[in-house]
Amino acid sequence: MNAIIVLVEPEAQGASEVSRETLTFARDLAARAGGAPVHAVVAGPAPDEAALLAHLGEQGVATVHRAVDDRLSAYAAAAWAAAVVDAAHSASAGIVLAAGTPRGNEILAHVATRLDVAMAANVVEVDGVDPLVVTRQVVGGSALEEMRLDDAVAVLSVAGHACDPVPVESPSHPEVTTYSPTLTDTDLVARVARTEEAAADESAALTSARVVVGAGRGAGSADGFKDLLELTDLLGGALGVSRVVTSLGWRPHHEQVGQTGSRIAPDVYIACGISGAIQHWAGCQSAKTILAINTDPDAPMVTKAHYAVIGDLHEIVPAVNEELRARLG
Ligand SMILES: Cc1cc2nc3c(=O)[nH]c(=O)nc-3n(C[C@H](O)[C@H](O)[C@H](O)COP(=O)(O)OP(=O)(O)OC[C@H]3O[C@@H](n4cnc5c(N)ncnc54)[C@H](O)[C@@H]3O)c2cc1C
């Protein structure tokens, strides 16, 4: 039985949680595929090699392929992919996996190109092993797609939290094989040149708010948010906006809700002047109650909302604010 090899992303103390989830996913897949061995490949720096090895043992890894080359010390997707491909060849791997992180997906895209095979990103479930059929998230997690992987080597990333990281009953003692991957200058053209401390997470108030007032193009201009901000304040909530609003520079990006913004799950989402495009819906669909305020009765946000008020938000929101002010004293 061909091995299954997992690209593992190290963190300060061991393997990242999503990498451990992916190893558990790989183990289940290996069991269904007749007991294939699970290998791990580590390409970049690992702050704590001993903790990393312990995590890999807890996940029942048989062999660790440890790429060693100073040029891998900074992240370079193509170079790390070269290391994964070399390890996959030496393990005679039939399946290559990584966690569906930005790096995992980027590296596997390079791996699939080098192996000239298809890649399934963000897999949540294996439906069958012969042939390999998987279910994966698409459209920012709004839809599921079934995909059949017929190539000699299957390349797939596993969506975060598709399963829990479950340790094996008796940890293994993985054999560690160090190797120097074959790297070319072009593999190193795009690489991390410097890193900076991340700024404080300014979207925390938005993602934890119980009430979110949403504002879209219907706000009209950067000056059109006064009443919306007052409504947000009266309700003790947070303001969330559509991408049009951030692209036009009306509000900062950390307020954006959607596929390329924050995912929110408040008790109430009041979407004002937002059409409800699929990319916005991906970020707000988990709200328990959605109220849309929109001039268009056929806007997707209106048809999907629990409640809707059809009309101009510049008339409705001030009226709501007035009523709230009166009730709140
Ligand atoms: C790869 C990709 C990623 C994306 N990611 C995101 C994302 O994360 N978040 C996101 O929001 N979008 C995202 N988008 C953009 C998305 O497709 C839409 O273009 C965007 O959500 C539309 O914003 P909007 O609803 O504010 O504007 P519009 O679609 O222009 O809708 C404006 C709405 O306001 C209503 N309206 C106008 N005037 C008033 C008024 N006075 N009173 C009441 N209603 C009024 C209109 O009837 C309309 O329904 C993404 C797109 C792509 C391609």
Q: Note whether 171 and 264 are same-domain residues.
A: no
- Any idea what DSSP says for residue 312? -
195 found inside a domain: no
Q: What is the CATH number of the domain that holds 167?
A: 3.40.50.620
Strands, E assignment, the chain: 3-7, 10-11, 14-15, 38-42, 63-67, 93-99, 119-129, 132-138, 143-149, 154-158, 175-179, 211-215, 238-241, 268-272, 289-294, 307-310
- Given this model, what pLDDT does residue 200 score? 75
197 found inside a domain: no
260 found inside a domain: yes
Which residue owns the Cα nearest ligand 1 atom 48? 275
Answer whether 0.75 is exceeded by the pTM: no
Q: Note whether 8 and 150 are same-domain residues.
A: yes
Q: Which domain holds residue 286?
A: 204-328
| Cα 137 to ligand 1 centre (Å) | 23
Q: Note whether 224 and 158 are same-domain residues.
A: no
198 found inside a domain: no
Decide which of 127, 157, 188 is a domain's last residue. Answer: 188
3-state class of 290 per DSSP? Answer: strand
Question: Does the beta carbon of 261 sit less than 6 angstroms from any atom of ligand 1?
Answer: yes
Q: Note whether 264 and 155 are same-domain residues.
A: no
Decide which of 160, 188, 216 is a domain's last residue. Answer: 188
- Given this model, what pLDDT does residue 1 score? 67
Q: Note whether 22 and 167 are same-domain residues.
A: yes
| Cα 258 to ligand 1 centre (Å) | 10
- Given this model, what pLDDT does residue 278 score? 94
Which residues of the chain fall below pLDDT 50?
Answer: none
Question: Does the beta carbon of 218 sit less than 6 angstroms from any atom of ligand 1?
Answer: yes
The one-letter code for the residue type at 96 is V
Q: Note whether 170 and 98 are same-domain residues.
A: yes
| Cα 124 to ligand 1 centre (Å) | 29
- Given this model, what pLDDT does residue 16 score? 95
- Given this model, what pLDDT does residue 205 score? 87
Number of domains in the chain: 2
Decide which of 146, 161, 188 is a domain's last residue. Answer: 188
Q: Note whether 46 and 154 are same-domain residues.
A: yes
Q: Note whether 37 and 100 are same-domain residues.
A: yes
Q: Note whether 245 and 173 are same-domain residues.
A: no
For every residue of 72-141, DSSP letters joined together read GSS--HHHHHHHHHHHHHHTTEEEEEEESSHHHHHHHHHHHHHHT--EEEEEEEEEEETTEEEEEEEGGG
pLDDT in tens, 32-41: 989 999 999 9
194 found inside a domain: no
- Any idea what DSSP says for residue 219? G
Q: Note whether 24 and 152 are same-domain residues.
A: yes
94 found inside a domain: yes
